[in-house]
Amino acid sequence: MDTVTVEPIEPGRMAAGCESCAAHNAANLRRLGVDMSDWDYVVALAGNPNVGKSTVFNALTGLRQHTGNWPGKTVTRAEGGFEYGDARFKLVDLPGAYSLLATSLDEEVARDFILFGQPDVTIVVVDASRLERNLNLALQVLEITDRVVVCLNLIDEAKRHGLTIDERHLARRLGVPVVPTAARTRQGLDELLQTVSDVATGKIICKPHRARHESPDLKAAADEVEADLHRLYPNLPNARWVALRLLDGDEAIIQAMQRGELGDLTRSAPDSEAVNVIRLEAAPA
Amino acid sequence: MGEVITFWVPWTLIMLALAVLFWPGRGLFWRQRRSKEERERIQVEDALKYLYFCEREQRRPTVAGIAGRMQVSENRAAHISQELQEMGFAVMQGDVIKLTGDGRAYALHIVRAHRLWERHLADETGYAEREWHARAEQAEHSLTPEEADALAARLRNPLRDPHGDPIPTATGEMVNEHGQLVTALEPGRSGRILHLEDEPEGLYAQLVAEGFYPGMIIEMVDQSSDRVRVWADGNEVVLAPLTASLISVQPMSMREELIVEGAETLADLEPPEMGRIISLSPRCRGVERRRFLDLGFVPGTEIAAEMISPGGEPTAYRVRDTLIALRKNQAGMILVERVEG
Amino acid sequence: MTTATISQGNLTPQDVLEQAASLRLRVGDFHEKLVESNYAEAADIADSVVTRPERPAHGLSLDQRIDRLVTSRLWGFPLMILLFAIVFWITISGANIPSSMLMNVLIGRIYPLLHVGADAIHLPWWLSGLLIDGMYLATAWVISVMLPPMAIFFPLFTLLEDFGYLPRVAFNLDNVFRKSGAHGKQALSMMMGFGCNAAAMVSTRVIDSPRERLIAMITNNFALCNGRWPTQILIATLFIGSLVPAYLAGIVSALAVVGIAMLGVLLTFAVSWALSRTLLQGEVSTFSLELPPYRPPRVWQTIYTSIIDRTLFVLWRAVVFALPAGAVIWLVSNIQIGGESIAAYFINWLNPLGLLIGLNGVILLAYVVAIPANEIVIPTILMLTVLTTGISGMGAGAGVMFEANSPAGAMAIFQAGGWTLLTGVNLMLFSLIHNPCSTTIYTMYTESGSRKWTAVAALLPLAMGFVVTFMVAQAWRLGAMIFG
């Protein structure tokens, strides 16, 4: 497959001792109401309101869930599934949100699912014609999980408005695969499925962009907490983000830590022998 | 006329009776609900709060002071102060009443409950700002410490109430009430001096000699690792970072700074004018503020007035490639500077 | 400031939390700075990957030109009125034929066949009555009156929505709603309410501010729904139209119906205003209205999904409620205690209250048992009136709803029931101002998740209906005493 985004390959390495390579957290998923017994991988679908997220969902699952041309229409969480290659993927449609700072219920639902469910892949649907606004959410998703595929949707609409988007450069800046699609006409969906499957099976390993402007005060405090978190949970994949949430007084994270749930989120770094691993790494600006 | 008598008269009487009983806040039912003990407890708690604020502001709390603050007779005030001592919350030293450790902890809980409740009203309800204080005055007496903790957790452990006053934590700590260090000011921003730390003595003397005083407005010019330059009363003063770190300031909001310079708000832009967002007014709080941030109304963002509703408002603005309509009072809370299109 | 000191070695989560909590007091609130820097980063990346077209000199995109037109001072409102007039006209004229076809099939053909079938297998009379005359008939009635208009109205509405026009309607009308403490998007749920209040409950989802959404839900009942228009038209024709010479009758009764609908709109604003200042003042209120880009709607998919999502969804709920209601209607009319039906007892018991508010016991009982759908109120009233007055040659038997074959036939039954002009006027008022149908109430409950606000939405209009009809009746009688 000709992935749009692929950077040079570092051969001979693959996820550690995993046959199926599923990385999701089945216990937490069950608590979140997702039964994984018939599925190999779980894929979360995130995105701003009104970016055609439901169209992508319907196109991938063959379901028909209607949502109108309104911001924030998906009120309940929809689930569906699809098969690709030999694997069965469960697709969970998260509520549309502008950010993941958990200031509203929708945002909290989306955030908790990505954080605690540890989906094998999170597809972030972004509106190609309003990239700046949409990247805001994508960047926040990248803080929490590195298994992300950006679905650059409504690419036809962007073209109609005369916009051209350098998706290869975008993938380099973000450090994750970017697939341009026009879900309404099913354009690009095969590539999307292929890329999702590659990330799920560990053929593509992402190393996302995580840069931040922090005031010196904040940076010092965050460094301190992050160092503690690293000592406490050496494998926590998103310690910096957790540190900042704690400094922001985020009660959901504080309680998760008191209950010891944060400790469950450790994940062994994918590195061992395998063929064809594609490594994506965020390039500096 | 028989019908009038049989139907109107009883109905009217029933309505009147209901009004007398249940009129919000004043009906007999509501009056009766506040028992005598409860009134007594509320007075004790109010007195504790008064003592606590006196202590913070370094005033001398007296029985007369209690009477004045709580608008009760001197006799009543004396009775309350007596009760405070019996409960172990205060001791008399001459004619000055002093809080004990227990009393201070109790007072802090009341202050915490009050400020948390205001935060809750601002963030989670639609009550008008003018009602917050009165409602919090009631709620502070009914929240238990456990309820206050649960409320704090739900509100994501806020550091300040909507007026900017710090909220004590359950253990009585609070975010530095002396504002922030002057070194935290960004270049070009101003602040009002709240506090000059008087230790170490030599450095403090130096500050006083340079003419710094609480209440003075200073502006940050720039700073490096070995010197801090500020404007103070029309003079440029260069300080060593260590010396400067004795100064705490209340940073002036952009709004305060700009009122002087005559800043404009988004509501002043007419289509097709453009502007750049300077800041969100502090009046914009809670859910509304979060919504604005979510929608990308953050400082530095370019924004263009696009069209006005035929009804007169709202106006649609283009912000980060999206059209978003805001009402006039909302647009008035976003400070902007004009940009040529 | 205390900083938790952490002993090397055995670090516990609690230690880290305490550390973070105390550092937090030093750092202060940085939430907004974080949002700001995140956006700055996003803008930086977007700038580096997106190439924008050179702005054309006269610079308006197609979207902008459409927006200029549909929100213009001159054309905005006329265009809106025209579009909605077309939608309503297509709905009303388009629904007539399928509606009468459904009536013909479900009630004209299948209904007698069911009776034939029941006789053939010797079903006892009470069972066939309960199942066929009660449950089947009520359901068939609801389906044939409700389904066609909804199946036309909803797709049309959805097409406008998907195109992106409806947010512009909210934009145009927001100022009126703002003044009554509501959200511009309430214009749309209101419009939807003229089709079906239950579907309108779902449509309030687009209002993302809690207080305004509750206002839209609670006041939606004042939008005269599809099930109540026929009642209004029938009563206006019989009681109001007959007051004036024949050549004026049509226009006067039409004006009366429009007047009732307008009264509903006025009540919507008045009640919205009052609610936002009293009961709902503590609910969170914000405003934001995104005007999405125009997108060409996909006609077939829209028709398919709006029929599945809205029409069948609402219809299914209505059927679920109509089945037991049909049974109840049949049972109260047929179970006899001491030689009188239960219905008669209820009617006698409700009669004083009914007369007090210018209605009668039959009407009140009909509103109680026909709660699943306003469509079956008039058939129930006709059946109950025939049942209680015992007039012969009318109706289809106890518990069997029917429609008069002509307005004059209905009038004869009403007159036999002792109706006056006051009864007609108050029935029109009460039909506008009473509790929503059970389908709507249930939908509101599932949408709002609140028993309290659902109860308010059900009981507030009911109480208002009693007060309004009571006042009108008293004023009427007072006037009659003074001038009569």
Per-residue pLDDT tens digits for C133-143: 888 988 888 88
Among A236-250, B157-171, C268-282, which stretch is predicted with the lowest mean pLDDT? B157-171
* Cβ–Cβ contact B79 with C under 8 A: no
pLDDT of residue B44: 83
- Interfacial A residues in 174-203 facing C (CB < 8 Å): 174, 184
| Token reading at B81 | 């102060």
Range list of β-strands (E), B64-212: 90-93, 96-99, 180-181, 190-196
Per-range mean pLDDT, top range of A17-26, C193-202, C301-310 = C193-202
* Cβ–Cβ contact B206 with C under 8 A: no
Does A98 sit within 8 Å of B294, measured CB to CB? yes
CB crowding C132-147: b at 16 or more within 10 Å, else e: bbbbbbbbbbbbbbbb
For residue C2, pLDDT over 60 is answered with no
**Among candidates B154, B294, B322 on the partner chain, residue whose Cβ is nearest the Cβ of A130:** B322
- Interfacial B residues in 297-326 facing C (CB < 8 Å): 298-301, 306-314, 316, 320, 322-326
In this prediction, residues C159-185 reach a mean pLDDT of 88
% of chain A with per-residue pLDDT over 70: 73
Tens-digit pLDDT profile for residues C407-458? 888 888 888 888 889 999 999 999 999 999 888 898 899 888 888 899 999 9
* Cβ–Cβ contact A248 with B under 8 A: yes
pLDDT of residue A281: 61
pLDDT of residue A20: 46
Does B326 sit within 8 Å of C73, measured CB to CB? no
Task: Read off the pLDDT band of A124 (50, 70, 90).
Answer: very high
| Token reading at A109 | 């639902």
* CB-defined contacts B:C, below 8 A: 122
In this prediction, residues B95-110 reach a mean pLDDT of 85
In this prediction, residues C250-257 reach a mean pLDDT of 88
Task: Please state the φ and ψ torsions of residue A2, each to the nearest 5 degrees.
Answer: -95, 90
Q: What is the dihedral of CA A210, A214, A218, A220, to 10 degrees?
A: 70
Q: Which CATH class is domain A4-205?
A: alpha beta
CA distance A43 to C160: 33
Among A206-210, C1-5, C127-131, which stretch is predicted with the lowest mean pLDDT? C1-5
| Token reading at C429 | 């008022």
Q: Measured over all CA atoms, what is the biggest interatomic distance in chain A, rounded to whole angstroms?
A: 52
For residue C368, pLDDT over 70 is answered with yes
Does C68 sit within 8 Å of B286, measured CB to CB? no
Among A137-146, B249-258, C12-21, C150-159, which stretch is predicted with the lowest mean pLDDT? B249-258
**All residues at 6 or more sequence positions from B201 whose CB lies less than 8 Å from its CB, including other chains:** none
In this prediction, residues B162-180 reach a mean pLDDT of 74
For residue B99, pLDDT over 80 is answered with yes
Strands B264-265 and B247-251: unpaired
Q: Could you please report the per-residue DSSP string of C309-341?
A: IIIIHHHHHHHHHHHHHHHHHHHHHH-EETTEE
The rounded mean pLDDT for chain A is: 76
Beta bridge partners of A150: A124, A178
CB A25 within 8 Å of CB A41? no
CA-nearest residue of chain B to C39?
B296
Question: How close is the nearest chain A Cα to the Cα of C91, in Å?
Answer: 21
Type of residue numbered C9: G
Task: Read off the pLDDT band of C270 (50, 70, 90).
Answer: very high
**All residues at 6 or more sequence positions from C351 whose CB lies less than 8 Å from its CB, including other chains:** C360, C361
**Among candidates B184, B290, B322 on the partner chain, residue whose Cβ is nearest the Cβ of A103:** B290
Instruction: Say whether B159 sits in a helix, a strand or coil.
Output: coil
CA distance B281 to B263: 12
Task: Read off the pLDDT band of C4 (50, 70, 90).
Answer: very low
| Token reading at A174 | 């973000």
**Among candidates C21, C67, C175 on the partner chain, residue whose Cβ is nearest the Cβ of B307:** C67
* Cβ–Cβ contact A76 with C under 8 A: no
For residue B105, pLDDT over 70 is answered with yes
Task: Read off the pLDDT band of C272 (50, 70, 90).
Answer: very high
The residue of B118, B309, B340 whose CB has the most chain C CBs within 10 angstroms, and thus the best one to mutate to test that interface, is: B309
Q: Could you please report the per-residue DSSP string of C44-60?
A: HHHHHHEEPPPPPTT--
In this prediction, residues B295-322 reach a mean pLDDT of 88
Does B296 sit within 8 Å of A130, measured CB to CB? no
Tens-digit pLDDT profile for residues A10-64? 333 333 444 445 667 776 777 666 767 777 888 889 988 778 888 888 888 876 5
CA distance C114 to C143: 17
The complex's ipTM? 0.81
For residue C474, pLDDT over 60 is answered with yes
pLDDT of residue B129: 75
pLDDT of residue A269: 44
Among A239-243, B109-113, C11-15, which stretch is predicted with the lowest mean pLDDT? C11-15
pLDDT of residue A21: 56
% of chain C with per-residue pLDDT over 90: 12
Task: Read off the pLDDT band of B254 (50, 70, 90).
Answer: low
CA distance A65 to A60: 12
Among A75-89, A117-131, B145-159, C442-456, which stretch is predicted with the lowest mean pLDDT? A75-89
Q: Is B42 exposed, middle or buried (0-12, 13-18, 19+ CB in 10 A)?
A: middle
pLDDT of residue A72: 42
* CB-defined contacts A:C, below 8 A: 161
% of chain B with per-residue pLDDT over 70: 84
Type of residue numbered A283: A
pLDDT of residue B157: 81
Question: How close is the nearest chain C Cα to the Cα of B49, in Å?
Answer: 23
Beta bridge partners of C230: none
| Token reading at C313 | 């969804």
Beta bridge partners of B265: B335
Instruction: Say whether B295 sits in a helix, a strand or coil.
Output: coil
Helix H, strand E, coil C: the string for chain A is CCCCCCCCECCCCCCCCCCCCCCCCHHHHHHCCCCCCCCCEEEEEEECCCCCHHHHHHHHHCCCCCCCCCCCCCCCCEEEEEEECCEEEEEEECCCCCCCCCCCHHHHHHHHHHHHHCCCEEEEEEEHHHHHHHHHHHHHHHHHCCCEEEEEECHHHHHHCCCEECHHHHHHHHCCCEEECEHHHCECHHHHHHHHHHHHCCCEEEECCCCCCCCHHHHHHHHHHHHHHHHHCCCCCCHHHHHHHHHCCCHHHHHHHHCCHHHHCCCCCCCCCCCCCEEEECCCC
pLDDT of residue B303: 92
Bigger pLDDT: A213 vs A95: A95
- Residue A72 Rama label (left phi>0; alpha psi -120 to 50; beta): left
pLDDT of residue C260: 92
Note if the pTM is more than 0.80: no
In this prediction, residues A199-224 reach a mean pLDDT of 79
| Token reading at C310 | 């809205």
% of chain A with per-residue pLDDT over 90: 7
- Residue C58 vs residues A147, B265, C61, C64, C68: alpha-carbon distances, Å: 45, 28, 9, 12, 14
pLDDT of residue B1: 42
Does A136 sit within 8 Å of C38, measured CB to CB? yes
* Cβ–Cβ contact A140 with B under 8 A: no
The rounded mean pLDDT for chain B is: 79
CA distance C227 to C375: 5
pLDDT of residue C430: 94
pLDDT of residue A150: 93
CA-nearest residue of chain C to B127?
C282
In this prediction, residues C10-37 reach a mean pLDDT of 79
Helix axes of B36-56 and B101-124: crossing angle, nearest 10 degrees: 100
| C64 neighbourhood in chain B, CB within 8 Å | 306
In this prediction, residues A69-91 reach a mean pLDDT of 69
Which DSSP category does B73 fall into? -
**Among candidates C6, C52, C164 on the partner chain, residue whose Cβ is nearest the Cβ of A69:** C164
CA distance B244 to B249: 11
For residue C98, pLDDT over 60 is answered with yes
For residue C222, pLDDT over 90 is answered with yes
Question: How close is the nearest chain C Cα to the Cα of B338, in Å?
Answer: 20
For residue B37, pLDDT over 90 is answered with no
pLDDT of residue A16: 41
Please name the residue ranges forming H helices in C358-450.
361-369, 377-389, 407-416, 421-432, 438-448
Peptide bond before residue B200 is cis, with ω within 30 degrees of 0: yes
Range list of β-strands (E), B115-206: 180-181, 190-196
| Token reading at A264 | 């469950």
pLDDT of residue A15: 39
CA distance C287 to C177: 12
Does A136 sit within 8 Å of C30, measured CB to CB? no
